[in-house]
Structure 1
Amino acid sequence: MKHKLFLLYAWFIWAFTFFLPDIGVLMRFRGGLYSLAMGECGKNFQVSSGARLFCLPNLTCGNDVYIATNVVINACEKIILGNEVMVGIGSTLVSGNHTLLEKSYRYGESEREEIFIGAGAWIAGNALVLAGGRLPESSLLAGGAVLSKSFYEPGIYGGIPAKLIKLNGK
C-alpha cells in the first residue's frame, strides 16, 4: 500500500507541475516536492517538467542535481546520484530487470541492483542506465549509451554496452 501511495504522490507532482516552465526557481520547486518523499536529497535539486520519477524512497540525490526533460527514473532498488550530477534529455535509469520464466519475461522474477552515479558525472541525452550500473565521479556517459556494469576510473564511457573510451586527463 505504501508503494502505491508514493506512486500516486509522484504522479500528482508531475500532473500539477508539468505546465510550469523550466526555469530555475520552478524546477527547484518541483524538485523540492519530489524530495519530500525521497530517501535523501541535497539542496538545489532541479527537475524539468517532463521528467518522471518513480519509487521515490529509493532515490538519493546530492547537492545541485539536475534532471532534464523526458528523463525516467524508476528506483525499484536504490539509485544514488552524487553532488552536481546532470541527467540529460530522454535518459532512463531503472534499477530492476526482468527474468525469463517458462518462455516469458512477463512473469519472471525481478532482479534488482543498486545504481550509483558519482559526483560531477554527466549522463548525456538518451542514455540508459540499468540495474548494477556504476558511473564514477567526474565521468561522462555518452548519449545513447547503455550502462549495465560498474566502472571505477573517471573517464568517458559510451557504446552498447558502455565501455571506457578515454580516461579523464589522458
Structure 2
Amino acid sequence: MNRLFHYLRYDWPLHVVMLLTSWLPNNTIFFALRGALCRPFFAACGSNLRLGRNITFYDARSIRLGKNVYIAYGGVFLGDGEIVIEDEVMIGPYVVVAAANHTLKDGSFRFGEIKCSPVKIGAGSWIGAHTPIAGGAQIGKGCLIASNAAVASGRIPDGHLAGGVPARVIRKLSEDPGVKG
C-alpha cells in the first residue's frame, strides 16, 4: 500500500506534468514553467528549477534538488536509491543518473538483485551531454564532467575536470579564464 501511495503521490503526477508540457518548446519561459509544476513531486526541491522536455524521473520521492538546478532535454533519473543534486548544478542533454545497479545472478543480470547506492552531484557542477552516472558516484562541488564520460561509483574531488570511460580526473579547474589547470 505504501508503494502504491508513493507511486500515486509522486511518480504518476510527475509523468503527467512532463507529458502535458512535452509539446512546449525548450526556452527560458517553459523551462521555468516545467520546473515550477514539477517541484511538489520531489523529496525536496529548491527554487528556480529549470527542466527541458522529455525528462524521465523514476521514484521522484528519492530525488533531492537544490536551488537553481537546470536539467536539459532527454535526461533519465532513476531514483531507486537517493539522488542528491545540490545548488546551481547544470545537467546537459541525455544524461542518465541511476542510483541503482543490477547484480549478476546465475550468469545473467536480468534477474539479479537491485543494489541501491546514493548519487551526489556537488553544488556548481556541470555534467556534459550523454553522460551516464552510476549508483555510488560522488561528484564534488564545482566539477566539470566531460560529455560522454561514464561516471562509475567513486568520488570526483571538488573543483576538477573529469572525463573518459570510466571517468577519471583530468585536471584541477581554475576560475581565472586565462589560466590553464
Give, in angstroms, the shift of residue 64 of structure 1. 0.7
Give TM-score, length-normalised by structure 2.
Answer: 0.89
Structure 1, unpaired ranges of 5+: none
Equivalent-residue separation in structure 2 for 1:9 and 1:140 (angstroms): 32
- Which 4+ stretches in 1 moved above 6 angstroms? none
Are 1:34 and 1:56, in contact at CA under 8 Å, matched by a contact in 2? no
Give, in angstroms, the shift of residue 53 of structure 1. 1.6
Q: How many residues align?
A: 170
Give, in angstroms, the shift of residue 7 of structure 1. 2.6
Give, in angstroms, the shift of residue 152 of structure 1. 2.4
Which residue, 159, 162, 165 being the options, matches 2:167? 162
Equivalent-residue separation in structure 1 for 2:113 and 2:37 (angstroms): 32
SS at match of 2:38: helix
CA RMSD of aligned residues (A): 1.2
Equivalent-residue separation in structure 1 for 2:145 and 2:138 (angstroms): 10
1:38 counterpart = 2:42: yes
Which residue, 1, 5, 29 being the options, matches 1:2? 5
1:90-129 matches, within 5 Å, as: 90-129=94-133
Are 1:130 and 1:147, in contact at CA under 8 Å, matched by a contact in 2? yes
Q: Percent identity?
A: 26
SS at match of 2:12: helix
Give TM-score, length-normalised by structure 1.
Answer: 0.95
Give, in angstroms, the shift of residue 14 of structure 1. 1.6
1:67 counterpart = 2:47: no
Structure 1 or 2, whichever has the larger Rg, is: 2
1:7-18 matches, within 5 Å, as: 7-18=11-22
